Amino acid sequence: MAWRGWAQRGWGCGQAWAVSVDGRSCEELTAALAPQRLLGRRFNFFIQQKCGFRKAPRKAEPRRSDTGTSGEAYRRSALIPPVEETVFYPSPYPIRSLIKPLFFTVGFTGCAFGSAAIWQYESLKSRVQSYFDGIKADWLDSIRPQKEGDFRKEINKWWNNLSDGQRTVTGIIAANVLVFCLWRVPSLQRTMIRYFTSNPASKVLCSPMLLSTFSHFSLFHMAANMYVLWSFSSSIVNILGQEQFMALYLSAGVISNFVSYVGKVATGRYGPSLGASGAIMTVLAAVCTKIPEGRLAIIFLPMFTFTAGNALKAIIAMDTAGMILGWKFFDHAAHLGGALFGIWYVTYGHELIWKNREPLVKIWHEIRTNGPKKGGGSK
């Protein structure tokens, strides 16, 4: 079969280019091949391309975070926001993407515990003054006429009836509720995905490690996490104190996200993560390690109880299996990292970090007492 000639007649096959093959037009050749379309689609497609249609070159598209089966799993999960339209750019050298998060994790953890030590110093210093202020306030309330149904008084009464731990986590819960509401603002979706979800393939790596700890897209996810935090708040604050607990909680959120980064880079399963589960796992593991004989129960099955030690072992086993088997509904690496950090801290970290805060407190005490030294000229 030889090509004899070409004649341009408009646009399209039959209207674009008319091709003559052995004296037969493109339309006649296509009609002659119609009975063989089921058996020769490839040949028919070849003829149609020769009739004037050329395959457009495919444009190179940037890689997305939800690649392969991992992306499908993330789209199926109701715990994270939809990210089909969000494009991420994984580094060609994935190990390098962990350098900044590593330094951020170490630096933030040091700053968190250092700030907690200074906070405790200031709290102890002002406690005596607060005690006398409280006596004065009680005396004024006794001579001041009380109003019926005073809303502010009822709020104060409710607040004073809370334990130290419950008062401490109230601010954390309020922050989580605020971020949950921000997810409902359509104009903020891109900003929320960029800064309030952690992903080693994202351009922003460090700040989401902290901000995503306060971020929940699902109401059930947030409610479950905040219920567990509220339940363990009194125990963990009684063990560590208010200041040390806050440093542990914030550091745990960053550390668990860093472990999540490592797991995603190691497996190549990039995708966004969010939620306080990693930090709450640290709190849960710390309490279960210090009080292994405590009795726990599941909220929906209160009739079944088990020891805290057994619960911690089951959680670690489940998250380890999830990492090995590639379960994708939860971020098992973050859960496991948070749990291991909680166990390590109450076993060794308290002695290594918190017990060695005295040099920093002394420096702060000198600054507060004598003021900063003035540099100057000669006397």
How large is the angle between the packed helices 277-290 and 308-325, nearest 10 degrees? 140
How many Å separate Cα 241 from the centre of its chain?
26
Q: How far is CA 228 from the centre of its chain?
A: 17
Q: Are 90 and 265 in contact (CB under 8 A)?
A: no
User: Does 335 qualify as catalytic in the annotation?
Assistant: yes
CA 253 – CA 201 distance, rounded (Å): 19
Q: What one-character-per-residue DSSP string does 256-291 give?
A: HHHHHHHHHHHHT----B-SSHHHHHHHHHHHHHH-
**76 is written with which tokens?**
């199926």
CA distance 135 to 293: 40
Q: Which of 251, 277, 332, 350 is catalytic?
A: 277
How many Å apart are CA 138 and CA 133, to the nearest integer?
Answer: 9
DSSP type of residue 183: T
Q: What is the DSSP string of 335-375?
A: HHHHHHHHHHIIIIIHHHTGGG-HHHHHHHHHHHHH-PPPP
* Amino acid, res. 352: L
Q: Nearest 10 degrees: CA dihedral of 53, 54, 58, 59? A: -90
* Among 310, 313, 336, 311, CA closest to 323: 336
Q: Is 216 a catalytic residue?
A: no
Choose, from 335, 350, 365, 378, the residue flagged as catalytic: 335
The set of catalytic residues is 277, 335
